[in-house]
Structure 1
């Protein structure tokens, strides 16, 4: 399959996409939890463990930080995507059918952006690349070595 850009540029673009999406999500969580960055008023921030607003904001903050840094990216992005799908269907959809009508556009965009990152990976500049990889060969080799002594 031919691509418009060389692979290293695709990885860089995907890394930048992940970084910007994660940073925006982090800001949204911080705004909701702490009333900063023009977010919720200080008296209106959710209290621990208020469902679902406190938990959603905690996922936004922690998940945003992890996706921004590229740590455990695929799993965290999948959780963030699911969180936004839940937000859309439980909060926004009841007001109107379409996202433009019910204010759910950010939830839909974040949901699909994080699903994309979960499927295609973190791209360049991710801390995931620094973690040791466990290959199937190494795992099976360890099993063989462990059972050889029996």
Structure 2
């Protein structure tokens, strides 16, 4: 029996929510590695950290950690996703592209993938399982369920 479109439509908010959580965790892990030397440390430092205040690596790591955690939690998802997407576009064009035109040539695959992934999340929103839909300002209208 083929899967019906309505099956996918009903599962979409949960699939987007799980996708958001995984992507946020992966992105935050990059920031934590660079800032705290965990998970193998910052890329290219052999287990070390980036210097505090160093442009652009330290600022990128802070954006990765904070935006990754916000996206993972589903709080301010669209704003955090736009900021994360922009930082990854910057990383791709300024850091990676001078080494070659294509991501496979310049080792910018993760920057390109994160950039487009966060741009997609900015448009889709957090999906299901988001803390932002539970924690709202007093008196604000409830967010209607997707579907």
TM-score normalised by the chain length of structure 1: 0.82
Aligned counterpart in structure 2 of residue 46 of structure 1, from 43, 46, 50: 50
The offset of 1:46, in angstroms, is: 1.6
- Specify the structure having the higher radius of gyration (Cα): 1
Query: Which has the higher mean CA deviation after the structures are superposed, 46-55 or 70-79?
Result: 46-55
Q: Which runs of 5+ in 1 are unaligned?
A: 136-150
Structure 2: distance between partners of 1:128 and 1:7? 22
Aligned counterpart in structure 1 of residue 111 of structure 2, from 107, 116, 120: 107
RMSD of Structure 2 on Structure 1 (CA) = 1.9
- 1:125 is aligned to 2:129: yes
1:34–1:42 Cα contact (<8 Å) kept: no
What is the DSSP-based 3-state SS (H/G/I as helix, E as strand, rest coil) of the residue aligned with 1:5? helix
Structure 2: distance between partners of 1:80 and 1:3? 31
Counterpart residue number, 1:144: none
Counterpart residue number, 2:32: 30
Structure 2: distance between partners of 1:17 and 1:54? 26
2:41–2:47 Cα contact (<8 Å) kept: no
2:74–2:131 Cα contact (<8 Å) kept: yes
Count of residues paired in the alignment: 134
